[in-house]
Amino acid sequence: MITVSTLHKMKATGDKIAMLTCYDATFAAAMDAAGVDMLLIGDSLGMAVQGHTSTLPVTLDDMCYHTACVARGVKNAMIVADFPFGVAQQSKEQAYQAACRLMAAGAAMVKAEGGEFMAETTAFLEQRGIPVCAHIGLTPQWVNAFGGYKVQGKTEDAAAQLIKDAKAHDNAGASIVLMECVPADLARQITQSVHCPTIGIGAGKDCDGQVLVMHDMLWVTDSKKARFVKNFMAGKDNIQAAFADYVQSVKNGTFPAQEHWF
């Protein structure tokens, strides 16, 4: 069973962490059998499963339902559940109550979007036995504020702020820092300057692990994909082989390749 201490040992030994999003028991079992280390019940389910155009309409009930479904399929992987929009950011007490529901549904870690200002919530949850994955960089719940899904940390000031965000969460005891759409050089610098493992999506090869949205890496539809997505179904005749190829590619450092980062 993968635990927070397994992840910290993996950072120390340089073993890469393979994470995928997952929303139901059958795919969870296939990912688990393929050796995926961490399954994220992302609020991306709003788009991937529910057909919305953003993650904003997803509710805490939705997250608990899908977390419980995934938990039924898993034997070894760590289960991480996302806080949906408007839940963790209001107050640390509200975040704690929502986290308890997600943990009761089967999560072993919760993921909250937001930078330095969320570090107090990270500390509050970690002190109460709830491991936290702090999601920084392109935080999709901020899509309206960002004016779209854009690479973050491109200016000197923005890069300095992202370093502060990561360090604030790390000092608050975060179990993981997840960076989305951050220039590869900056993600490497952050990975080297925090104690906790980092996971990247569109953040280069030097993070301690990688995550992709399952529907993207299986190329379920032909819709335009982000630069960081690779089609792991290409040349395979079954989905479990695609998951196994993803795990192997993350672990041997062949994914992501330069064409996937910024």
Catalytically active residues, by annotation: 180
Contact map string, positions 140 to 179, toward ligand KIV, x by CB under 6 A: --------------------------------------x-
Closest to ligand KIV by CB, 61 vs 93, is 61
From candidates 42, 115, 131, 200, binder to ligand KIV by CB under 6 A: 42
Stretch that binds ligand KIV, among 38-46, 90-98, 123-131, 147-155 (CB under 6 A): 38-46
Stretch that binds ligand KIV, among 40-48, 64-72, 73-81, 158-166 (CB under 6 A): 40-48
Q: How far apart are alpha carbons 162 and 29 in whole angstroms? A: 35
Question: Could you tell me the smallest distance in angstroms from the CB atom of residue 244 to ligand KIV?
Answer: 21
The strand ranges marked E within the chain are 17-21, 38-41, 78-82, 109-113, 132-137, 176-180, 198-201, 209-212
The three-state secondary structure class of 212 is strand
- Residues listed for the chain: 262
Closest to ligand KIV by CB, 53 vs 155, is 53
Question: Could you tell me the smallest distance in angstroms from the CB atom of residue 185 to ligand KIV?
Answer: 20
Q: Under a CB-based contact definition with an 8 Å cutoff, are residues 208 and 20 in contact?
A: no
Question: Could you tell me the smallest distance in angstroms from the CB atom of residue 237 to ligand KIV?
Answer: 26
Work out whether 44 is an interface residue with ligand KIV (CB under 6 A): yes
Torsion region of 82: left, alpha or beta (phi above 0 gives left; psi -120 to 50 gives alpha): beta
Work out whether 213 is an interface residue with ligand KIV (CB under 6 A): yes
Q: Which of 28, 67, 71, 26 is nearest to 45 (CA)?
A: 67
Residues 66-125 that bind ligand KIV (CB under 6 A): 82
Work out whether 208 is an interface residue with ligand KIV (CB under 6 A): no
Stretch that binds ligand KIV, among 42-50, 60-68, 123-131, 246-254 (CB under 6 A): 42-50
The three-state secondary structure class of 20 is strand
Any idea what the Cα angle at residue 179 is, between residues 214 and 138, rounded to 5°?
85
Q: Which of 104, 113, 108, 106 is nearest to 84 (CA)?
A: 113
Closest to ligand KIV by CB, 150 vs 238, is 150
For strand 17-21 and strand 78-82, is the pairing parallel, antiparallel, or unpaired? unpaired
Closest to ligand KIV by CB, 41 vs 93, is 41
Residues in Cβ contact with 19 at an 8 Å cutoff, skipping those fewer than 6 apart: 36, 37, 38, 39, 40, 80, 199, 209, 210, 211
Q: Which of 57, 46, 117, 127 is nearest to 88 (CA)?
A: 117
The three-state secondary structure class of 46 is helix
Work out whether 216 is an interface residue with ligand KIV (CB under 6 A): no
Question: Could you tell me the smallest distance in angstroms from the CB atom of residue 66 to ligand KIV?
Answer: 11
From candidates 7, 16, 21, 30, binder to ligand KIV by CB under 6 A: 21
Residues that bind ligand KIV (CB under 6 A): 21, 40, 42-44, 82, 135, 178, 180, 201, 211, 213
